A and B are shown apart, each in its own frame.
Chain A
Amino acid sequence: MLTTGLQMLPWKIANAKDTSNMDLLRIITAGSVDDGKSTLIGRLLLDSNALADDVLSAVEDASKRYQSHSINLALVTDGLRAEREQGITIDVAYRYFSTSVRKFILSDTPGHVGYTRNMVTGASNAEVALIMVDARHGMVEQSRRHSVIASMLGIDHIVVCINKMDLVGHDQQVYETIKTRFTALMSRLGVTNVVYIPTSAVNGDNVVEQSSNMPWFTGDPLLTHLEQVPSRVGLDLLPLRFPVQNVIRPLRDGYYDYRGYSGSIASGVLNKGDRVRLLPSGHETVVTTIETPRGFVEQASAPDAVTICLADDFDITRGEMISSLNECPQTSKTVDAIVCWMDEQSAMHQGEVYLIKQATRSSKALVNGIESRFNITSLNGEIEPKSLQLNEIGRVSLEISEPLVFDNYATNRITGSFILINESTNATVAAGMIGPPRFPFSLNSG
């Protein structure tokens, strides 16, 4: 069962893509129907050789059927029949490509206002947001909205692709004007790592290869930049958070006294011999063993899935949080949070009760109040709205049936996030982030 094979892997064979030293980067792209997002992704996949011949020829055939003259790169990504017929992207799609240094998981989401929930879905796990702008139109309402959501969801790295540069004569002035407007917005949103790249996805300029049409641009092309963005920095530096997923009791020879706690480390580093705190009970104990999929280790860190044993026999069940001894998460029965309402069938009102799932704990949550509703285009907020409807984002206060153990989302995306579930339909109705928004809204009374 225990092998250490992963250490011995780096075989190198001619023609195979060399994927040693590879890490993983999760990206979200957002854009509207017309700004060339799907084409850009098609271009990334095509130029990084992630498209196989038969997929390419299927796309060529489909391009003809759907009445476009040259090969339509967008069809690579528009997967479902309804989307092809309507010419829009209606859901989150996941794409995979890799270079010699990285595997990329790209969640591709539609851009219209009606699809805010899809963008929130795609952005929740992303480390980089790719925002598409049509160089002819510059910053439009939608690009503001995408920037706001990326910032709210805690994405630290944003790449603004100023696309269709071929249609503005590859003019540097156009690029600079758009960049200036975005810089002001990003500073208001508290995002510091922003890169602006002038591209033409149709022609491949500055996507994988440096463009000879824009010699004035001295930055890296998109793919080169994506290869260099730091991935998941600082997760190890945060205090330990280990939400217990399952208790393992094998009840067989050699294991009758065994009690293992399995789960994924949400943040920080776990060492054998560490004194840790159990929450919400507050007990202290010592980590006696840490087992990974490849056997026992002295140390593990986020996002490892592990099983640990503890020195003391407390009654620990799923939902317990194991934390570093002194830097503890908050424990409370009331929380303030930003929520994005995702349900078509219902709206959020004060007084409603939902199931809440946060880390590995499920409880009930009563909506004590809807404090404000944000207009994510104007960055204004309306105080005490009557409800939150589909795709609306607001600040709410919740009362939980049992103490919640959490951090603010701004410091920890895993322990600071939750979903709400409607008890009668079982639908996921909201995504929530605990704590204040990352940037201020100007509040007016509604």
Chain B
Amino acid sequence: MSVSILRSDMWTEHKHLLDIESESIHIIREVIAEFDRPALLFSGGKDSAVLLHLAVKAVHPGYLPFPVVHIDTGHNFPEVLSFRDKTAKRLNIDLVVGSVEEAITTGRITVPAELDGSRNQLQTPVLLETIKQGGFTALFGGARRDEERARAKERIYSLRDEFGRWDPSNQRPEVWNLYNGHINLGQHMRVFPISNWTELDIWRYIAAEGIEVPEIYYAHKRKVFERDGMLMALSDVMQPVPGETVVDRNVRFRTVGDMTSTAAVVSDARTPEEVWAETGATQISERGSSRADDRFTDAAMEDRKREGYF
């Protein structure tokens, strides 16, 4: 089926998206060529959905030659888990799940009291355990540099030591499109092919390509309550305390992490186009509006990355 696309039109209309798409596919192909055991970290969120879509394109018409890894905090939105399973089935890919719940139940990790319900920090040891068990030498992640100040300084190939840690003062120079995939025993590489995409690019691409994302990214009616200026979804793991009132609101989520630390935003945007338009007009950054865990200190992300977080 040979489709003659009006290339000149595409270049002039959306050249920057095609450029970053090509860049991402190039990076994915480099990893496939140079690492013996890659895997893709799939949170079920929009960025990892785009990443997976790009990976499928990078190997087309072949099959994806690596598994998809999900770290399940046990506090994930049910919509995200069913999206994860549906996607794995549709693409016929291996899904490896590392369970925080199971690690807690079996006593492999303990929950510090001061965490206040959020399990984001607990993902790190489970992730590192999953990497070790799978023998993965490279993990694709959907992080973008526009998300946060520490990420703005991270390389596309981010070397992790034996303990999964990132050392920001000792990063490899990354020149032209030449990536160094050589690692020592015990180390692994985190690779971020969509580093140069912004949140707006992601939504525009989702719209253009018709990429499916969990329905909670689009406006829907939900029971929520306000805490610390953020709207939290009512769930088994998130209950109001006295003084907090549950209300029905039209909301959507901008990120889909742990239910205890992911807040909703009031919105009527029901399509990728509408989300894109709303994102372009809004004045609150993605992580700031909906990730309670980044708000503790402005060095919060840097600290978690050093400890082996995504």
Binding site for B on A (CB under 8 A): 1-11, 13, 15-17, 19-24, 52-55, 58, 61-62, 77, 79-82, 90-96, 98, 102-103, 105, 117-118, 120-121, 124-125, 245-246, 248-250, 252, 255, 258, 260, 262-264, 289, 291-300, 303-305, 307, 318, 342, 355, 357-358, 360, 413-414, 417-419, 421, 425-428, 431
Contact = CB atoms under 8 A, between A and B. Distances in A.
A58 B299 CA distance: 11
A426 B13 contact: no
A293 B171 contact: no
B220 interface: no
Contacts of A62: 298
Nearest to B146: A96
Given A94-B152, A125-B176, A291-B60, A52 B285 contact: yes
B5 A305 contact: no
Given A52-B283, A249-B62, A5 B180 contact: no
Given A79-B149, A355-B182, A305 B22 contact: yes
Interface in B193-220: 195-196, 198, 200-201, 204, 207-210
B33 A245 contact: yes
B297 to A, nearest CB: 9
Contact of B29 (A11, A258, A262): A262
Interface stretch (B98-106, B108-116, B131-139, B272-280): B272-280
Contacts of B88: none
Contacts of B200: 17, 19, 98
A286 B302 CA distance: 51
Nearest to A4: B5
B10 interface: yes
B178 to A, nearest CB: 5
A21 B63 CA distance: 34
B172 A428 contact: yes
Interface residues of B, number: 82
Contact of A305 (B3, B17, B25, B178): B25
Nearest to B289: A54
Contact of B280 (A17, A22, A103, A105): A17
B210 A5 contact: yes
Contact of B152 (A79, A260, A292, A355): A79
B16 interface: yes
Contact of B175 (A13, A23, A120): A120
Contacts of A299: 7
Contact of A7 (B10, B61, B196): B10
B307 interface: no
B226 interface: no
Given A93-B153, A428-B175, 9 more contacts: A6-B10, A15-B281, A19-B200, A22-B16, A54-B289, A93-B152, A118-B173, A120-B173, A121-B175
Contacts of A2: 1, 3
A53 to B, nearest CB: 5
12 contacts: A9-B204, A62-B298, A79-B153, A80-B168, A93-B152, A103-B201, A124-B175, A293-B25, A293-B54, A297-B4, A304-B22, A417-B176
A212 to B, nearest CB: 28
Contact of A255 (B14, B57, B61, B184): B61
Contacts of B198: 96, 98, 103
Contacts of B182: 355, 421, 426
